[in-house]
Amino acid sequence: MAKVHDPEEPEGMNMTPMIDVTFQLIIFFMLVTDMANRQIELVKLPQASKAIKEPVEDPQILIVNIRKDGAVKIDGKLVFTPPPLDKPQEFKAEKLENIFVARRQSDAYRTVAGKDDQVKYPVLIRADRSAPWQWVQMIMMIATKEGGVTRVQMGAMQEQAEVKS
């Protein structure tokens, strides 16, 4: 009797709030995942069958992305653009150097320094497969000279991925 009397209240479910909430959830997850992957730039990595997959990422890792044109992105920010070919003297890497210097001067680095800092403070170079080698060399040089880093990891795709796609 009650059901017939008031059909809107107990049975007629309004979907709008649920959809709203679900959208909120999507946005939340998107933001969270984006934060986690912010260091990862979409570059086409070269293939290497011996590439190791690390199950847990070192939280102190610095991911350096090198685009096809040699531009360097760290943490989603463009920190280095190669000089034009006809104006090589316009080479400027201060922003890039500052990142490594700041990293070396951080408290976290000081506490591990002297122990096994190269293991604790790795740099992952994710270079595009077509990126000129010189920019990878540049990162290695800055990492050693300015950053005191010796452990460098080179991002690569595993061969199986190539077969799949």
Partner 1 sequence: MKAKSRLPREEKPGELNMTPMIDVVFQLLIFFMLSMRFRAIEGKLITTLPQDKGLQSSTVLSPELEEVRIILCAAGPNPINIGSNDRYYGESAHRSNKGEHERIEKDPTLCKALVEKNACGELIMTEKNEKSAAANRAVYKNVAAKAKQLDDMRPSTRDPSKAAPIIIDADSEVPYEHVLGVINALREVDISNVEFAGNPRFDLYYGSGQRGQFQRR
Q: Is residue 13 near partner 1 by the rule CB under 8 A?
A: yes
* Least distance (Å) between residue 53 CB and partner 1: 5
For residues 126-145, which are near partner 1 according to CB under 8 A?
127-134, 136-138, 140-145
The site that binds partner 1 (CB under 8 A) totals a number of residues, namely: 75
Q: What angle do CA 24, 12, 19 make, to 5 degrees?
A: 10
Q: Report the distance separating Cα 32 and Cα 164, nearest Å.
A: 28
Under a CB-based contact definition with an 8 Å cutoff, are residues 142 and 35 in contact? no
Integer-rounded Cα radius of gyration of the chain: 24
- Residue identified by tokens 């490594």 is 100
Residue 81 engages partner 1 in binding (rule: CB under 8 A): no
When binding is defined by CB under 8 A, the residue of 2, 52, 56, 59 that contacts partner 1 is 52
Q: What are phi and psi of 82, to 5 degrees?
A: -65, 150
Select the span of 72-80, 103-111, 119-127 touching partner 1 (CB under 8 A): 119-127
Question: Taking CB under 8 A as the rule, does residue 101 contact partner 1?
Answer: no
